[in-house]
Structure 1
């Protein structure tokens, strides 16, 4: 039930939509607006959220604001763009950004919020739309610890695991590392499937056996059914994975870290983008591997 604090939510897409809905269902007053131009009137009616038409309007009606948006550029525009958050009084207000954005944009967002007396809590998540709907996301958090404690009751509605990592950009770093490893797991999965294809192994049996082996990352088990059907309907897109890999490689360059396997995976996601598959599921890296091996690249 509500504790008297008013909540705001900006970005009600595939992930943000079910997350904001959970806060509404838990009895919290939530004011929403989109990060784009999509009509959210039906969503507001369905969830019981109050509909606003700009970040400024959300900030005027909320004490704690959440964002779930595609990238750091949009985050900064939400804060300082036309009718942005900083057009309202932000003194004492908290912005909880749950997106996967680059650390430089995150640092700038924190500076902008602080300049107006507000606070930024970094809270990126692990898990896809299924976990968002069920409230079983993992949430990595960094920022001021007292701000984290204030927001923890709401984060517990959104996920079943919350880990505080420090007072700066640590949550961003950890999220990027995890996504980098996820991309490499999908690349490894694809290479195994391609070799099996060339050896004439049965497609569905191969996927079952990989998923039942010590070599299986959880993502391979989670994606088994869609991979059997060669269904690349996105839960998280190639565009998003490509973006995350670029952030990982930029961080590696900053600290002079050598990441040979990640560098190769980056090339494969570059190939996917060149193939025009940016809006397919990130498992479509299989198609780039099949192209390299002159195999059928059809979808289910």
Structure 2
């Protein structure tokens, strides 16, 4: 069993850190809101650190799941950052969805200090984190990944290294590109069915068994039809991710017309007050 620090106890990180304890790892947590870290310790045991550096001291692995590029830099760098507390050879595993650029930047800093950095964004949403069945896409040094994979397994259904530093983040971009198009297609189909006077749930029972079937259809069609959007990944975070996808596409010469269009549809949902709705709320703009 490993000595692990976990930085960031949001809707994903809180249960992920809990799974580490359940698998027997020794865990010290850090959260920007100190009270949440203390609550986690009361619930799961382990320890909490007042700074990322304090949490990382003595750890063999340091996991992070924070908000964005700037949040990740802030928990890694500086006198109170995790890198300052990590001994040489420690593996930093970043579960945040960020740009490949900041991943490579921080991986280079870690390498200069004799430390390891694995980018490991996750897919599966809040439910996947709570149930310990996340899909984890990784990039970085192969040896560092092989050391980290058994620890990541505490909350993963599948975990794969897909290439060098940044490959995990690029794979996560592919994941978000797929989701954007799938949810929009499902939203349009359900809204079409309502206008046509069909029983959407009955239709989905049939078409979900054929080529139209998807995870989104299976898990979100009922709540979409009911106008319930308090499940999983928020629109604000999806737009953050799609911005990364679109910026990266410009850099590498990829064309993402559907993704760009759906991003604007999510902007409309934000303007309707749906910033914290989950991503299935795309149907709101079609049924108002």
Q: TM-score, normalised by structure 2?
A: 0.93
Contact 2:103 2:165 in 1 (8 A): no
Note if 1:85 corresponds to 2:78. Answer: no
Question: Which residue in 2 is equivalent to 1:24?
Answer: 21
Note if 1:153 corresponds to 2:150. Answer: yes
> Does 207-216 or 11-20 show the bigger shift?
207-216
Contact 2:34 2:50 in 1 (8 A): no
Question: Which residue in 2 is equivalent to 1:76?
Answer: 73
- Shift of the 126–39 alpha-carbon distance from structure 1 to 2, 3 Å rule, reads closer
Contact 2:224 2:283 in 1 (8 A): no
- Shift of the 275–180 alpha-carbon distance from structure 1 to 2, 3 Å rule, reads same
5+ residue gaps in structure 2? Answer: none
Match of residue 106, structure 1, among 103, 106, 109: 103
Contact 2:51 2:80 in 1 (8 A): yes
Taking the aligned partners of 2:273 and 2:87, their CA distance within structure 1 comes to 41
Match of residue 122, structure 1, among 105, 119, 124: 119
Tell me the secondary structure at the aligned position of residue 5 of structure 2: strand
Tell me the secondary structure at the aligned position of residue 240 of structure 2: helix
Q: Following superposition of structure 1 onto structure 2, how do residues 33-52 of structure 1 map, counting pairs within 5 Å?
A: 33-52=30-49
Q: 1:202, CA displacement in angstroms? A: 2.7
Tell me the secondary structure at the aligned position of residue 166 of structure 1: coil
5+ residue gaps in structure 1? Answer: none
Taking the aligned partners of 2:156 and 2:122, their CA distance within structure 1 comes to 8
Q: Following superposition of structure 1 onto structure 2, how do residues 128-167 of structure 1 map, counting pairs within 5 Å?
A: 128-167=125-164
Taking the aligned partners of 1:266 and 1:190, their CA distance within structure 2 comes to 14
Question: Which residue in 2 is equivalent to 1:196?
Answer: 193
Contact 1:35 1:69 in 2 (8 A): no
Q: 1:195, CA displacement in angstroms? A: 1.7
Match of residue 7, structure 1, among 4, 12, 21: 4
| Aligned-CA RMSD value | 1.8
Contact 1:234 1:279 in 2 (8 A): no
Q: Following superposition of structure 1 onto structure 2, how do residues 237-256 of structure 1 map, counting pairs within 5 Å?
A: 237-256=234-253
Contact 1:193 1:206 in 2 (8 A): no
| Deviating 4+ runs (over 6 angstroms) | none
> Does 255-264 or 8-17 show the bigger shift?
255-264
Q: 1:42, CA displacement in angstroms? A: 2.0
Q: 1:117, CA displacement in angstroms? A: 2.1
Contact 1:22 1:135 in 2 (8 A): yes
Q: TM-score, normalised by structure 1?
A: 0.90
Contact 1:272 1:278 in 2 (8 A): yes
Residue by residue, what CA displacement relative to the aligned partner does 1:26-51 show, whole Å, maximum 9, x if unpaired? Answer: 11100001144543212111111211
Question: Which residue in 2 is equivalent to 1:222?
Answer: 219
Contact 1:79 1:112 in 2 (8 A): no
Contact 1:66 1:95 in 2 (8 A): yes
Taking the aligned partners of 1:257 and 1:140, their CA distance within structure 2 comes to 21
Q: Following superposition of structure 1 onto structure 2, how do residues 245-284 of structure 1 map, counting pairs within 5 Å?
A: 245-284=242-281
